Structure 1
Amino acid sequence: MSDMQNYDVVVVGGGPAGSTVGGLLAKAGHRVLILERERFPRYHIGESLVTGMTPLMEELGLVEELDRRFQHKSGISLRWGSDPQPWRSDFSSTGSIYGHAWHVTRSEFDQLMLDNARSMGATVVEEAHVSEVTGADTGTVTGLVYTHGGQQHRVTSRFVVDASGQARVVSRKVTETQWQDDLRNVAVWGYYDTYTPIENGDDILCEAIEGGGWMWGIPLGKDKLSMGYVLPAERMAKAVREGLSQREVFLQGLAASNIAKTMVDPSDTSADMKTARDWSHLSDTFYGRGWVAVGDAAAFIDPLFSSGVWLGTSGAWLAARSLDKALRSPADEQQALKQFDSVYRQLFKDILTYVRFFMDPTRLREEYMERAQEITQMYTQSSRVGFIALISGIGAVADLVDFDPMGMDGLREVIMERTEQAKARAEAEAAATA
């Protein structure tokens, strides 16, 4: 037995991306249903945010609450590159008014975001399990079927937004995905109740590990440190074949570090180890007839620069404005969604290009900064500013804040130019290594 419901937009997934697009569309006056398969609060990895998120958090009215609840993050400390000396980039060095971000407990942060979407007018159903995407086989998505509390529900909608993360409930049915084989990694991590802070105590630590991979250290509070080891998937598979446990793999990475190992006691076994695959991918398209994808459902990039939540919520912010235009003016749907895809895809490509470049830990520090400056296209003499602008998301703030799904001819030309420049660089590098 099932009932029939109708909404303007159904969002699959209540994480930060889903709650952002759902809340903003509901605030704009549209009938929105958000379906979340779990009951919040629930655990999730990805606890370090970047300053590029601040304008959206202002739009959502959450900055004051984030400042009250969570640890500030003022920069990133790195031990990376051919220079063995650690180095640091301070968010304030860009001259932006956004001088800090936050380290967050995701269960609490995601609950805050979802509750905010409710307060903005979205209908939220938790523990809802989507069993069918209606119309996916025909190329035009018209709704979906979900189960909640033992009852089946059918929903029709103008649009379905896939914000279901790496489950990709909708996008896996309607578009192809390109996996980035050179970024197939696995993460192993745990939490420590006692730790020794690094010099800049509220920074995130990113440290390259000899032999491949890298470690993070995220201070979630004075008595809680998130520490993880990201390594190539084939190395993890080899370790498993050799009978090593998750903890033993983690400890191998810790022992090979220079800074991370000074932060925690390796004999402390109180931290339960968790693991997840970390395989970067990019969907062929982020939209189609009746559907849009945001967050990990659209694309995922190695979390080296804590870009995941920023990319997900930024895409959701873009999608909300494009969908609002499409709902109010169906004749403009194609143009609005095309603009969403174009700008959102460029954000991903910029980060993907740079992560791939940065993953070579043998370069000079100046090379990392100069390449970041090239990607951000910042009109500044300081490569250091270009670096922090890219990894913090600040370099894209104007594109996000000023996004107009129908009035971006100038920005579209910039995007095309940047795409051609990136293509030319890639071809030159390939020729040089041939």
Structure 2
Amino acid sequence: MKNPDVVVIGGGPAGSTVSTLIAQKGYKVRLFEREHFPRFHIGESLIPETYWVLERLGMLEKMKKSHFVHKHSVQFVNSAGKTSAPFYFWDNKPHECSQTWQVVRSEFDLMMLNNAREHGVDAQEGVRVREVLFDGDKAYGVKIQLEDGTLEEVHAQVVIDASGQSNLLANKLGLRTWDPVLNKGAIWTYWKGAYRDEGKNAGATMVLQTGNKKGWFWYIPLHDDRISVGVVGPFDYLFKGRESHEQTYEEEVEACPGVKERLANATRDTGYFATKDYSYRCKQAAGNGWVLVGDAFGFLDPLYSSGVLLALKSGQLAADAVVEGLQKGDVSEAQLGSWGPDFNKGVDRMRRLVCEYYEGFSFGQFIKTYPHLRNTMTDLLIGDLFTERVDEVWEPMETLYPEGKVPPAPWFSVNPELDPEMKANELMLPAGYKP
């Protein structure tokens, strides 16, 4: 398969998803991954809406047989250490999709890539894509470098960039725009012997507000007695004026009662990891002969654990658009990017919920005031982002604002790089939106 129908750059969850779904329709797909799996990656917590994509991929039975920790809920802890009642996914949607997993990404990503191979994808590791080849504004293939240094050209009708935050095509075409509001960073490490709840709550994701309310911790129980614990906060606060990531992390743990208590008898199992300036999106989802999926298109925020869902969902939507285009002989920007507006609409719903949390939103107060909206709010938390039904929470939420507060500004109305007159698949909000 020298020249396939489709080339995919990157073997993470987005790349394995889009390649599998296209191969399932009988098209020839070659995938190039520069690293060798298994490889470390952050982003361990899945949310329930990943179920439906995993089902299409043929991954569900593999997940059920895995040793990944079962996740049934999410809980929030305020700055004083007070824990909310769990948001149980089953109470909201009594279906097996309401039990999901806390995954070790090195293992999960390898499972996904091998699953792609089982569906006919020619997935090669240790192969670096040096550039995407263009004829005018149309992509027609890639130049790859093998491990021995050999350079080759591989031609295809469609090139899909799933290169993650390397943003191969976005960098080449100048498409990436940074979120002007979510200017955050994260520092994290892994612990053994840390506290974990029992029974149904043993696999719950915890979101714990820091003592000074400037950020939050994630607390994610994994198998092998490991817990992933990371602190997220404003870039300037976390990364300026302190000597090291270790100092910052330890100071934040010390000042956060909920985390300090849970780590009291734990032993740190790794060094410290950090990432900065990670909230961005690209100006468009596709062009003539090319598509962006997963982190190559954008990354929102680790709050609510939406990263893997958005990778899988973008891969699914892009795959369907590519298959339809190949069937029609149409690999134009309009066809390949036809999924962009609906996807962006869903991302913007999650983005609003993220911004509300950072601006002081209280789940407990909201549910107490509007108990009939508990299920709708849980729908947002499980990743049911692609339906207008969930929009009923916003107006009630605004009634709880302190005097003078206004809703978080939409993406492109506060981003000078984005033009409200963009074509439909380039919009950061639904087509027809007026700032």
Q: What TM-score do you get using the length of structure 1 for normalisation?
A: 0.84
Q: Distance in 2 between matches of 1:431 and 1:203?
A: 28
Alpha carbons of structure 1 residues 148 and 354: separation in structure 2 relative to 1, 3 Å = same
Aligned to 1:148: 146
Alpha carbons of structure 1 residues 278 and 391: separation in structure 2 relative to 1, 3 Å = farther
Alpha carbons of structure 1 residues 154 and 368: separation in structure 2 relative to 1, 3 Å = farther
Q: Distance in 2 between matches of 1:364 and 1:295?
A: 28
| Per-residue deviation, residues 316-355 of structure 1 (Å, max 9, x unmatched) | 0111111000001025855543431112111211111111
Q: 1:76 touches 1:203 (CA, 8 Å); kept in 2? A: yes
SS at match of 1:189: strand
Q: CA deviation at 1:182?
A: 2.4
Q: Distance in 1 between matches of 2:322 and 2:183?
A: 33
Q: 2:356 touches 2:408 (CA, 8 Å); kept in 1? A: no
Aligned to 1:299: 298
2:92 maps to 1:115: no
Q: CA deviation at 1:86?
A: 2.8
Q: CA deviation at 1:313?
A: 0.5
2:55 maps to 1:67: no
Matched to 1:390, the amino acid is: L
| Per-residue deviation, residues 130-166 of structure 1 (Å, max 9, x unmatched) | 1111118x32211110101221110111111111111
2:374 maps to 1:384: yes
Q: 1:208 touches 1:361 (CA, 8 Å); kept in 2? A: no
Q: 1:251 touches 1:266 (CA, 8 Å); kept in 2? A: no
Q: 2:188 touches 2:229 (CA, 8 Å); kept in 1? A: yes
Q: 2:287 touches 2:332 (CA, 8 Å); kept in 1? A: no
Q: Distance in 1 between matches of 2:196 and 2:107?
A: 23
2:225 maps to 1:223: yes
Aligned to 1:24: 21
Q: 1:73 touches 1:204 (CA, 8 Å); kept in 2? A: yes
Matched to 2:72, the amino acid is: S
Aligned to 2:248: 249
Q: 1:299 touches 1:348 (CA, 8 Å); kept in 2? A: no
Alpha carbons of structure 1 residues 139 and 366: separation in structure 2 relative to 1, 3 Å = farther
| Per-residue deviation, residues 225-281 of structure 1 (Å, max 9, x unmatched) | 111111211112324xx42x2222111111121222122138845432111225211
Matches of residues 354-373 of structure 1 in structure 2 within 5 Å?
A: 354-361=353-360, 363=362, 365-367=364-366
Aligned to 1:378: none
Q: CA deviation at 1:210?
A: 3.1
Q: 1:12 touches 1:34 (CA, 8 Å); kept in 2? A: yes
Aligned to 1:162: 161
Q: CA deviation at 1:82?
A: 9.5
Q: 1:50 touches 1:101 (CA, 8 Å); kept in 2? A: yes
Aligned to 1:88: 86
SS at match of 1:35: strand
Matches of residues 183-222 of structure 1 in structure 2 within 5 Å?
A: 183-198=182-197, 200-211=201-212, 212-221=214-223
Aligned to 1:233: 235
What's the Cα RMSD here?
Answer: 3.0
Q: 2:220 touches 2:227 (CA, 8 Å); kept in 1? A: yes
Q: Distance in 1 between matches of 2:331 and 2:180?
A: 37
Alpha carbons of structure 1 residues 190 and 364: separation in structure 2 relative to 1, 3 Å = closer
Matched to 2:128, the amino acid is: H
2:48 maps to 1:51: yes
Matched to 2:372, the amino acid is: S
Q: CA deviation at 1:306?
A: 0.5
Alpha carbons of structure 1 residues 364 and 93: separation in structure 2 relative to 1, 3 Å = closer
| Per-residue deviation, residues 149-195 of structure 1 (Å, max 9, x unmatched) | 22111011111111111111112223522211321222111111211
Which stretch has the larger CA shift, 269-278 or 221-230? 269-278
Alpha carbons of structure 1 residues 369 and 60: separation in structure 2 relative to 1, 3 Å = farther
Matched to 2:137, the amino acid is: G
Alpha carbons of structure 1 residues 209 and 335: separation in structure 2 relative to 1, 3 Å = same
SS at match of 1:124: strand
Q: 1:82 touches 1:363 (CA, 8 Å); kept in 2? A: no
Matched to 1:17, the amino acid is: A
Aligned to 2:423: none
Q: What TM-score do you get using the length of structure 2 for normalisation?
A: 0.83
Matched to 2:167, the amino acid is: R
SS at match of 1:182: coil
Alpha carbons of structure 1 residues 80 and 294: separation in structure 2 relative to 1, 3 Å = farther
Q: CA deviation at 1:288?
A: 0.8
| Per-residue deviation, residues 79-125 of structure 1 (Å, max 9, x unmatched) | 14899453321111222412211000100000000000011001111
Structure having the higher helix fraction is: 1
Q: Distance in 2 between matches of 1:35 and 1:265?
A: 44
Matched to 2:376, the amino acid is: G
Structure 2 residue ranges without an equivalent (≥5): 399-403, 410-435
Q: 2:349 touches 2:385 (CA, 8 Å); kept in 1? A: no
